[in-house]
Amino acid sequence: MRKVKVRLGTNSYDIHIGSGLLTQTGHQLKENGFVNKLVIITNPTVKGLYGDALKQNLITEGFKVTILQVPEGEEQKSLDAAGSLYGELTDFYAERITPILALGGGVIGDLAGFVAATYLRGVPLIQIPTTLLAQVDSSIGGKVAVNHGQLKNKIGAFYQPRLVISDISTLTTLPTKVLIDGLAEVIKSAVIGDKDFFAFLEKNLNKVKSLNVEVLEEVVSQSAKIKAEIVEKDETDLGLRSILNYGHTVGHAIESTSNFKVQHGEAVAIGMLAEASISNKLGILNKDELIRLKSVIKRAELPTQMPNLEVENIIQAIEHDKKVLRGKIRFVLPQSIGSVFITDEVSLSLVEEALIGEDEAT
């Protein structure tokens, strides 16, 4: 098992990464001082695959366990779903010391995290992420939220978990589509934070795709370390943490322009390429590195070509964000593979050029 520490003073915690950790959870929780009862929040898919085994382990270790289920889907990240969970927690006589275990992908992590942050003004949260995206991104850093109307993640808190348990073997049941979303965030981590890790990905991408457990353990550990280091420097997202948005300025615009038909990882992949291309056009990122990035994205089976959307509409969506951000669009651009910089000096015509001219540039 590997450990990554997130050092946030009194909010510090460990991330445990390894294969088969799920069935050692009871022991880990006792080591962290938890006793008596606890609540698992999950969904039917994940419950069927892992929830019952986790419950059995916890019961064997002497815990009183309740599993609460929410249906599948992003729409469950809602105040309504949180409201139902508060009711069920009350029925179970959950107390301030009763931990909530969030077992699932980012949807469960964000919703259960939001509930843990607010129920009785905060109960202990244990993240047990089971998707690649959740293991490398959403379970780390304490952003918990629900959506409100069309506004994503608008009602939330910074609420750090007490422990993150990333069992790599759970990734072997992921549908390819879900794995791919996580892979985009993994590539993002390497580009913003670690050129050696990028080289590791170049070498081992086929093993990642074939779900080789040792390689996945390395990938999750490295990505978690990069995110942890960024979060440590900017817990509440006042500055540096925005570098995690590399690929997301253009990516979010593509997602919304496509009415969310283009999935998150695919949109981020195109966003990363477009933003790298902007940097190249500004004379900063060299062409070899742009080509290396494109090749990794392609080998990850993420798209490198713009989907069939009007560039004009994507630009409009970016402009809409600009209004939200009081006139300036902040881009996170790669300087070289492994390091990024933030600028608000990118003109929309350059963005347009990058979106249209992607193929010519590489």
Instruction: Provide the binding-site residues for ligand NAD, judged by CB under 6 A.
Output: 43, 45-46, 49, 72, 74, 77, 104-108, 110, 130-131, 133-134, 137-138, 141, 143, 153, 170, 173-174, 178, 181
Minimum distance between the CB of residue 135 and ligand NAD, rounded to whole angstroms?
9
Minimum distance between the CB of residue 235 and ligand NAD, rounded to whole angstroms?
12
* Joined tokens for residue 190: 């390497």
Separation between Cα atoms, residue 231 and residue 254, nearest integer Å:
26
Instruction: Choose between 173 and 347: whose C-beta lies nearer to ligand NAD.
Output: 173
Instruction: Choose between 290 and 300: whose C-beta lies nearer to ligand NAD.
Output: 300
Locate tokens 């843990």: which residue? 116
Q: Give the other-Cβ count within 10 Å of 329's Cβ.
A: 19
Minimum distance between the CB of residue 25 and ligand NAD, rounded to whole angstroms?
15
Minimum distance between the CB of residue 153 and ligand NAD, rounded to whole angstroms?
6
Instruction: Choose between 14 and 74: whose C-beta lies nearer to ligand NAD.
Output: 74
Minimum distance between the CB of residue 224 and ligand NAD, rounded to whole angstroms?
12
Minimum distance between the CB of residue 225 and ligand NAD, rounded to whole angstroms?
16
Instruction: Choose between 74 and 321: whose C-beta lies nearer to ligand NAD.
Output: 74
Instruction: Choose between 110 and 289: whose C-beta lies nearer to ligand NAD.
Output: 110
Instruction: Choose between 110 and 353: whose C-beta lies nearer to ligand NAD.
Output: 110
The pairing of strands 64-69 and 37-42 is parallel
HSE, side-chain direction, 13 A CA sphere, residue 261 = 6
Written in H, E and C, the secondary structure of 304-356 is: CCCCCCCHHHHHHHHHHHHHHCCCCCCEEEEEECCEEEEECCCCHHHHHHHHH
Separation between Cα atoms, residue 317 and residue 322, nearest integer Å:
9
Which residue has the closest beta carbon to ligand NAD? 106
Instruction: Output the DSSP codes for 121-144.
Output: G---EEEEE-SHHIIIIITSS-EE
